[in-house]
Structure 1
Amino acid sequence: MAVTHTIYDEDWTDHHAVGLEHSGVAFVDVDMCEATNERSVFTECTFTNVRFNCSTQTDVAFLNCKFVGCNFFDATFTRCKLVGSAFDRCTFELLKVDQGDWSFVAMPGAKLGSAEFTGVRMREADLSGARCEGGSFRDVDLSGAALQKADLTRCDLRGSDLSGLDPQATELRQAIITADQATTIAIALGLDVRVA
């Protein structure tokens, strides 16, 4: 979709929004630090150098949106839908994502070591080359996700769907998993797992 409108260099700090609807809008250099946003819908919008620091997004949909050079320091996303959205050169320190649908999201090479994802659907998400050392993906649906060359060292993966994980193409040293997940990974390695 072509850009229909541009919002440039605006200060939305501490702004409280409910039920906004934007389609094909370009947000450039907008400061959304500590803003709260509820039940809004952004469709095929672009966010360039937007600061989401310490903001709270609740039941918000970002559908097929693109985020370039955005800062998500200590931002919280609760039950949000980001299906088909893409992130390029964004920062995610202390990002918290609770529930919601992030399927088909593109986050290749993202640094997610201090981020927390809990109960999120991330089916067929592109996390190739993502640096998730020490991060947390608890009860996350990662079925079909691209995890090639991702670094999951010391990552808490308990309860997550790892059925599509190739343990030979992903770094898993000291990752935290359950016994059931260990069996899934062993089978992926071609081992014959037996009860006794």
Structure 2
Amino acid sequence: MAERRTGAPAAPTETTVRSADWDSRDLSGEEHTRVLFSDVDMTEAAGDGAVFTECVFRNVRFNVSAHTDGAFVNCTFVRCSFFDATFTGCKVVGSMFDDCSHDLMKVRGGDWSFVGLPGADLRRADFADVRLREADLTGARLAGATVVRCDLSGAWVHQADLSGCDLRGSVLPAMDPATVGLRGAVIDPVQAMALAVALGLDVRG
């Protein structure tokens, strides 16, 4: 399992939900703490305000699920599928994603600070207005993805592929073009100026 940026291990779970069929389940208002969800089908599950704290999800299918104003705090996701899943205004602070699929995943608003997505394939993911401060995107594949108006302050992007990624309006972390793929990335004039200054260029009118 990939390690969290801080090196802290996942919290131990206390109860287990195994091989359950939660297809189309209404998760509204549910609260789960330190639960291991293993081989659970959450396809098309939806809800407002569901809270998962220090839970572990293994081989869970979140396909076409919709989560609004919910929370997945310090959770761990291992080999989970998020095909066409939508997160709106959710708090996913400190959660770790390991070997998950994120095809067509959409994130609208919310706080994903300190999230761990090292090596994640996010090429078909869409992030907008998301707080991603100090997120671990080491080696993440974001070529062609959309990451607009997001706060990536302090994010780790070493060896990440941002080629062709739409980054307009986002607060970008310090980046070394020698270690980050940026070819064809879409940025706005303010970002271009900030990147030029960060590279030590003398920008004059």
The TM-score bracket by the shorter chain reads over 0.9
2:80 to 67, 70, 89: 70
| Distance change (3 Å), C-alpha of 1:8 and 1:163 | closer
Q: Structure 1: 5+ residue runs without aligned partners?
A: none
The CA RMSD over aligned residues, in Å, is 0.8
Structure 1 stretches of 4+ moved >6 Å: none
Partner SS state of residue 17, structure 1: coil
1:20 and 2:47 correspond: no
Report the equivalent of 2:43. 33
User: 97, 104, 110: which one pairs with 1:100?
Assistant: 110
**Quick one: distance in 2 between partners of 1:17 and 1:57?**
8
| Residue aligning to 1:124 | 134
- Once residues 165 and 42 of structure 1 are traced to their aligned partners in structure 2, the CA distance between those partners, rounded to angstroms, is 33
The TM-score with structure 1 as length reference comes to 0.97
User: Which segment drifts farther, 31-40 or 115-124?
Assistant: 31-40
> Following TM superposition, by how much is the alpha carbon of 1:40 offset from its aligned partner in structure 2, in angstroms?
1.1
Given that residues 155 and 173 in structure 2 are in contact (C-alpha distance below 8 angstroms), is that contact kept between their aligned partners in structure 1? no
Assess if the C-alpha contact under 8 Å between 1:35 and 1:56 holds in 2: yes
Give 1:2 deviation, angstroms: 2.4
Aligned to 2:152: 142
Structure 2 unmatched ranges of 5 or more: 1-10
The residue that corresponds to 1:171 in the other structure is 181
CA contact (8 A) 1:167 1:185 kept: no
Normalised by the length of structure 2, the TM-score is: 0.93
Q: Output one character per residue of 1:23-50: Cα deviation in whole Å (capped at 9) or x when no partner.
A: 1100000000011021011110000000
Query: Which of 3, 14, 17 is matched with 1:4 structurally?
Result: 14
Separation in structure 2 between the aligned mates of residue 41 and residue 2 of structure 1, nearest angstrom: 17
Count of equivalent residues: 195
